[in-house]
A and B are shown apart, each in its own frame.
Chain A
Amino acid sequence: MSNPLVEVKDLKKYFHIKNEGATETVSLLKAVDGVSFDVFEGEILGIVGESGCGKSTLGKTVLNLYEPTAGEVLYRSRSVYAKNTQELKEQTKNMQMIFQDPYSSLNPRKKVAKIIGQSLDIHSIGTSQERSERIEHLMQEVGLNPLFRGRYPHQFSGGQRQRIGIARALALQPEFVVCDEAVSALDVSVQAQILNLLLDLQEKHNLTYMFIAHDLAVVEFISTRILVMYLGRVVEIARKEDLVARHVHPYTKALFIASPITSPDQRKGEKHIFQGDVPSPINPPTGCHFHPRCPYAIEQCRKEYPPMKEVAPGHFAACWVV
């Protein structure tokens, strides 16, 4: 495998939550709690997990949109944090983000050309003529008619808006793009178009994606490697083929079992559905966070969080019983 483009080392992001009440107390929400992994050049690393597992926070912290509580993220072996403004500005050229909601992530008062071209303005790239050409080129590339450059976001459909968001993210020719639930707000037929577009662009520009989604089927389709999160921690990480063939962690198993079937022929009399709710990340269970829902839990699981074990080459899982 090639060199790591991004190295995430024991990254933590805690939020302080104020509890309103007679006595004001503060509890700690450990959204990302000691996460380590590498992202290699040219790969699509899928991050999957349910709501509240910290996957979006992870994406934003890696991009330095959130300041980390502890830990380090290296981009091409250099820290993404602790930089002066000029260095930060340089960094954003390489690292960009595509957001989930194509409605709230575009400024409704700005025309499309302005939205896509804003980063070119900020970095003073090219002459205004060159910028304008670049914007038209970007619009074409993501499948938007450049004639619509003077329109406002509300004049576009959800899928088209997501294309605007993608064009904006690519304007500075980044190497690394975090796609945060980039297709989950879209209808299935549009979702398929956008997934294809993301793959086309990745190939063409040799991009590296960190693709965050709650939908296992989407992650399974697009990723080359998959990382599974549960309550702020990585529970399993492996190459896609390895993870699909053999999911080791009980939570990964639960995700695969719960994943909707694709044909009525697959209906089974008895499914082994995992019971119980996702606990609150404010007060996660002791030991392994998954133990209250886990049918395989042993005494040790209640006491101590399991370390990452390499179960096969390049395939890691954090579980006491594997």
Chain B
Amino acid sequence: MPSGPPARAETRPVPDATGLELIAQALQEANADSVLGTAFFRDRAVIIANPPDVHEVLGRLKDQGYDFLASLHGVDYYPEEPRLGVLYELLDMKEVDRISVKARVHTDAPRIASVVDLWPGADHPEREVYDMFGVVFEGHPDLRRILMPEDYEGFPQRRDFPVGGEPVLFTYNEDSPYGKSQ
């Protein structure tokens, strides 16, 4: 039974800023172009990877112990360029370390290598990023929309995609879009 609240437990910033630089340096030694930079904010370590080399970077980190892909999601950095970001949240369960890998691609050719061969669990998240942001994952076994209907046009999570004003399609009105004719 705790006697009053003890001081907040020291949450280890893992890896710390130095550790992150060491990891990034090791990755750069293996392939000089693979790492574009690092970011350390609020104890969150991010490696900014060169999009063509992201599979290689993730493979190396996986071998280092970051072998659990906790999350894979997309971000639209509109109006900054390159606009689309794909983020991989990696976790080392033994050391209880987390590291993020970020790769940013342009909207005119949003292509990035799939990591389904490294983690089968990247299947649905990659489909979601494709569905919402239009990033094409090369080598994905079954890349199609997951949350939106198959015949949907556009990528709704992009920042320039308007909110609202969209006709709702059901089977009974799919031949005569809402508002046009009855």
Do A and B actually bind?
A: no
Interface residues of A (CB under 8 A from B): none
